[in-house]
Structure 1
Amino acid sequence: MSSPQSKLQIAIVGGGIAGVALALDLCRHAHLNIQLFEAAPAFGEVGAGVSFGANAVRAIEGLGIGQPYQLIADRTPQPWQDIWFEWRRGVDAAYLGASIAPGVGQSSVHRADFLDALAQQLPAGIACFDKRALRVEETAERVRVRFTDGTEHECDLLIAADGIKSSIRDYVLQGLGHPAVAPRFSGTCAYRGMIDSETLRAAYRAADIDEHLINVPQMYLGLDGHILTFPVKKGRLINVVAFVSDRSPQDPKWPQDKPWVKNTTQAEMLDAFSSWGDAVRVLLECIPAPTLWALHELEELPGYVHGRVGLIGDAAHAMLPHQGAGAGQGLEDAWLLARLLADPQVDAGNVKRVLEVYDQVRRPRACRVQRTSWEAGELYEYRDRQVGDDQSLLSTTLANRFDWLWNHDMEIDLASARAQLGWQ
C-alpha cells in the first residue's frame, strides 16, 4: 500500500461538469491523491438544459457516472426516441427533415441537476470551496497554485477546468510562447426561457398548432436566427433557446461593462422574431421573462498543456452551442485524462509526457468541433455559402452532418495515446 507521500498528487481547478467528472473518476484510485478547488461557495451551474450527443453519453458511461445521469436525463418519447432534432422553417414550421442519433436521440438534462448528481458522489474532503485561482508557479518537479484568499496548494499535476474565463489558460499559453487569448463575442445572442409543458400544450391547442412540436425536439431555421426546443426535468419543462445574429460588424464586440447574461423583456424577444410564424410566436409568448445571453467562444489554441499544467473543457476549447457539443467535449477530455492518469505506469517523473500526449490526441478533435459548431450556426441561419436557404440541400446536409461527431471512437484515441507513451 502506497503512503500519502508516494501518491501522485493531482489538483483540479474548477467544479463544473468536466472538473467534477474527472475528480470522481480519479478519486476511485488508491494511488492518486485528488483535490478539487472551486471558486464559488458551493457547486452550481449557469444555464438550463444541456444536450449530449451519443459520444458524450458514452463518455459519461465510461467515467462511471452513467447511472446517475440516466436517472435524471430526458429522452425523446417513443416512437421518436432516435430523433436528435426535427428541422423546420421558422416562417411556417414546415418540416425540412430530421437528424437521427440511433439509440440516443436527444439526450438532455438540466445542468444544475446533473452537477448536483455528480457532486453527491464525490467523497468528503475532495472539494474545497471559495478557492479562486490567482496564479500558477512551476518548478522542475512541482506546481504551486495560489488563490485570491492568500492560500496556496502544491501538487504534481494541475488540471484547469475553470471555464471560458479561465485564470490559468494564460499561464499555459505564455509557457508556449503564445499571447493570451480572451473570450471573443460571436455576434450572436440567445434569448432563453423554460416553459411548463402543459402551459405550452394549452397555448398550442388554443392556436390550433400541432402538439407534435412539443413532443419532439425542434429546430426552427431562419435568416440570421434559429430557435431550438427540447424537454428537461423529465418532460415537465420545455427548454427554449432563440438565437439572433447581428452580422453587420466585421469584428463584433460585447461591451466590457455589460454582463454576458442579463434579464430582458418579452417584447424585445418577440420583436426579434416578428416575421416568423405562429408556432414560434405562441412559443415565445409563453416566456414572460426571458434572459439574454451574449455568446462568446475561444479561438483555437496552439496547445492545451505546458509543463505540469493542462486545460480541459471550456478553459481549452469553449465553443458555440450549435452542435450541442461543448459539454461533451469536456467529458471526452475527462475520460481520456482519467484513463491515462489512473494507469499504474504514471508517476511524477513521466506525468508531463502524459499531458503532452493528451494534448496531441485531444486537441485536433476539439478544434474541429469548435470550427464545425460555428459552421453549424451559419447553416441554421441560411448563411452557409453552399447551402443557403435551399430546402432540399438543407434537408440532406442536416440528415447526416453530425455522424462524425457522434460516432467517434474514444477507445481508438486511448490506444493511440498509449502507443505514443510506449505502454503495452
Structure 2
Amino acid sequence: MRVGIVGAGIAGLALANQLHQKGIEVQIYEKASRLEPVGAGFTIQPSGFKVLEGTVDTESVLATAALVNQSQMMDAEGNLLAVDIMESLSSGAKSYSIHRGDIHEALLKDLSHGDVVKTSMRATNINSDESAAIIQFEDGTSSSFDLIIGADGIRSVARKFVSPEAKLNQSHGIAIRTLVPRSRDDLLFHNFRAWMGQGKVVLTYPVRGGEFLNIACYTDGLPQIDGSWSRPVKPDWLRNEFRGWDPSLTSLLARADSCFSWNLADIEKLQNWNRKRVVLVGDAAHAMVPYLGQGANQALVDCYELSNSLGKVADDQGTLAEALQEYEQSRKHSVALIQQLSRKAGHIFKSDFDGNRDIKNLEITALLKKVSAVQTGSA
C-alpha cells in the first residue's frame, strides 16, 4: 500500500512515523519551501503525549518542555479564579508546554532517510476513483497513490473532495502570538498563566527549556484587514489592546518585539471524513478554536487510530474501505463534542465577570467536567 500525505505539520509527520513503523510506504507533500512549524508554543496534554510516546523519542522532546499540570487563572485585573484549567485537562496525568519546532525536529528525525518529505509541492486538487487517488500540484505534475491522507490543515484541499459542503466559521476573531525572553521575575508564577474577560483571553507558558515565554492573545479586534490569513502585528497595537490590564501581563507585553496573528476559525461537524481513497485527519477533519488547547492533541489521537486501522489492511486483516470507516467511527463523535466545548470555552472565557467571579468559576468547572467526560468516553 502506497500512501500520500498532504501537509507536513504535526499530524502529517506523526502519521508518517506511525505508518513507517507498520511497514507502509509513505510520501509527504508540503507546500512550503522549508519545513518551518506554524505557530510557536502549545500544550501537549495526556492524550496527545501518549501517542507521542509510541511515535518518537520523547526523552529528547521533554528536554525542552515544561511541566504544566497546574495553572493560575485570573481576570483582567489579576484577581485569581478558583479554578485550575490545566489540572483539570491533565486529569491526574502530565501535560507539557513545548515549542512546535521541537516537536517537528523529533518527528522529522526518523523520516530523514530517502526523500520522504517533498517541499514546494502545493496541492491544488485531489481526486479519487475505486482504483487510485491522485494529487495534482501547482507545477502541473501529479502523483497517484492507494490512499491519500489530508493533513493539510484548516484550509484543506483534501477536504474539498471529501466534504465539499464544509464551510469555515471565521467569526471567532484573531490569535496573536509572540515569544519573550523569560526573566527571573517570571519564575515567581506558575508555569501556565491565563487572563480572561472583556472579550479577550491571554495564555502564557514557558518553551525552549524555559528560555522563552510563549504568549497567545485571543481577541475579537482586528489590527488590519488585508485578506491574508496570517500577518505581522505591531507590538504597540497589541500593548494598546491590553492597556489597563493586570500589570504582570502588561509588563510581559512590554517586552514583545515581534508578533504575528492569524484568523481564528473552525468548522461544523463534517458529513464525512473519508471518500473513496481519501481521508482527513487533524484540522482538515475538525478544525476547532484553541481555548482548550485540543487541536494538536486531537490530531495526534486521529493519527494513532488511523494508523492502527491501516495497519490491519497492511496485515491483510481487512479492506481499505473498512479501515477508513473504522477510523471515522472511532473519532467522529468525540471530536465533534470537543469542537463544541472549545467554542463554548471561548465564549465563557471572554465574557465579562460582572463583578461575580463565583459564577465564572462554576461555569468553567462545569465545562471542564464535560471535557473530562468526553476524554474518558463517558459523555
Is TM > 0.5 for Structure 1 vs Structure 2?
yes
Do 1:55 and 1:407's aligned partners in 2 also have CA atoms closer than 8 Å? no
Stretch of structure 1 that moved more, 155-164 or 104-113:
104-113
Q: Which residue is 2:356 aligned to? A: 390
Secondary structure of the structure 2 residue equivalent to 1:333? helix
In percent, how many aligned pairs have the same letter? 25
Q: Which residue is 2:175 aligned to? A: 190
TM-score for both structures, normalised by structure 1? 0.80
- The answer to whether residue 189 in structure 2 is matched with residue 222 in structure 1 is no
Secondary structure of the structure 2 residue equivalent to 1:342? helix
Do 2:65 and 2:210's aligned partners in 1 also have CA atoms closer than 8 Å? no
Stretch of structure 1 that moved more, 114-123 or 312-321:
114-123
The one of 223, 228, 241 equivalent to 2:216 is 241
- After superposition, the CA RMSD in angstroms is 2.7
- The answer to whether residue 68 in structure 2 is matched with residue 87 in structure 1 is no
Q: Which residue is 2:3 aligned to? A: 10
Secondary structure of the structure 2 residue equivalent to 1:51? strand
Secondary structure of the structure 1 residue equivalent to 2:263? strand
The one of 119, 125, 137 equivalent to 1:147 is 137
Q: Which residue is 2:336 aligned to? A: 367
- Following TM superposition, by how much is the alpha carbon of 1:361 offset from its aligned partner in structure 2, in angstroms? 1.8
What pairs up with 1:253-268 in 2 under 5 angstroms?
257-268=226-237
Q: Structure 1 121/405 Cα, relative in aligned 2: closer, same or farther at 3 Å?
A: farther
Q: Structure 1 409/394 Cα, relative in aligned 2: closer, same or farther at 3 Å?
A: closer
The one of 94, 97, 100 equivalent to 2:83 is 97
- Following TM superposition, by how much is the alpha carbon of 1:328 offset from its aligned partner in structure 2, in angstroms? 0.7
The one of 220, 237, 243 equivalent to 1:274 is 243
Do 1:260 and 1:295's aligned partners in 2 also have CA atoms closer than 8 Å? no
What runs of 5+ residues in structure 1 fail to find an aligned partner? 1-7, 77-81, 205-210, 247-251, 414-424
- The answer to whether residue 257 in structure 2 is matched with residue 288 in structure 1 is yes
Distance 1:271 1:131 in 2: 40
Secondary structure of the structure 1 residue equivalent to 2:250? helix
Distance 1:409 1:63 in 2: 21
Do 1:144 and 1:153's aligned partners in 2 also have CA atoms closer than 8 Å? yes
Q: Which residue is 1:421 aligned to? A: none
Distance 1:347 1:276 in 2: 60
Distance 1:65 1:161 in 2: 22
Q: Which residue is 1:39 aligned to? A: 31
Q: Which residue is 1:117 aligned to? A: 106
Residue 42 of structure 1 aligns with an amino acid whose one-letter code is R
- The answer to whether residue 279 in structure 2 is matched with residue 310 in structure 1 is yes
- Following TM superposition, by how much is the alpha carbon of 1:124 offset from its aligned partner in structure 2, in angstroms? 2.4
Q: Which residue is 2:149 aligned to? A: 159
Stretch of structure 1 that moved more, 56-65 or 324-333:
56-65
Q: Which residue is 2:188 aligned to? A: 212
Secondary structure of the structure 1 residue equivalent to 2:97? strand
Do 2:7 and 2:29's aligned partners in 1 also have CA atoms closer than 8 Å? yes
TM-score for both structures, normalised by structure 2? 0.89
Distance 1:266 1:136 in 2: 40
Q: Which residue is 1:418 aligned to? A: none
- Following TM superposition, by how much is the alpha carbon of 1:311 offset from its aligned partner in structure 2, in angstroms? 0.5
- Following TM superposition, by how much is the alpha carbon of 1:408 offset from its aligned partner in structure 2, in angstroms? 6.0
- Following TM superposition, by how much is the alpha carbon of 1:304 offset from its aligned partner in structure 2, in angstroms? 0.8
Distance 1:135 1:96 in 2: 50
The one of 42, 58, 77 equivalent to 1:66 is 58
Distance 1:292 1:88 in 2: 23
Residue 356 of structure 2 aligns with an amino acid whose one-letter code is D
Distance 1:127 1:403 in 2: 40
Which deviations, in whole Å up to 9, do the C-alpha atoms of 1:44-89 show, x marking residues without a partner?
Answer: 211100112221111222435534432332214xxxxx31x22111
- Following TM superposition, by how much is the alpha carbon of 1:110 offset from its aligned partner in structure 2, in angstroms? 0.6
Q: Structure 1 126/292 Cα, relative in aligned 2: closer, same or farther at 3 Å?
A: closer
Do 2:125 and 2:158's aligned partners in 1 also have CA atoms closer than 8 Å? yes
Do 1:37 and 1:129's aligned partners in 2 also have CA atoms closer than 8 Å? yes
Q: Structure 1 349/316 Cα, relative in aligned 2: closer, same or farther at 3 Å?
A: same
Do 1:91 and 1:276's aligned partners in 2 also have CA atoms closer than 8 Å? yes
Secondary structure of the structure 1 residue equivalent to 2:144? strand
Name the larger-Rg structure. Answer: 1
Distance 1:407 1:66 in 2: 27
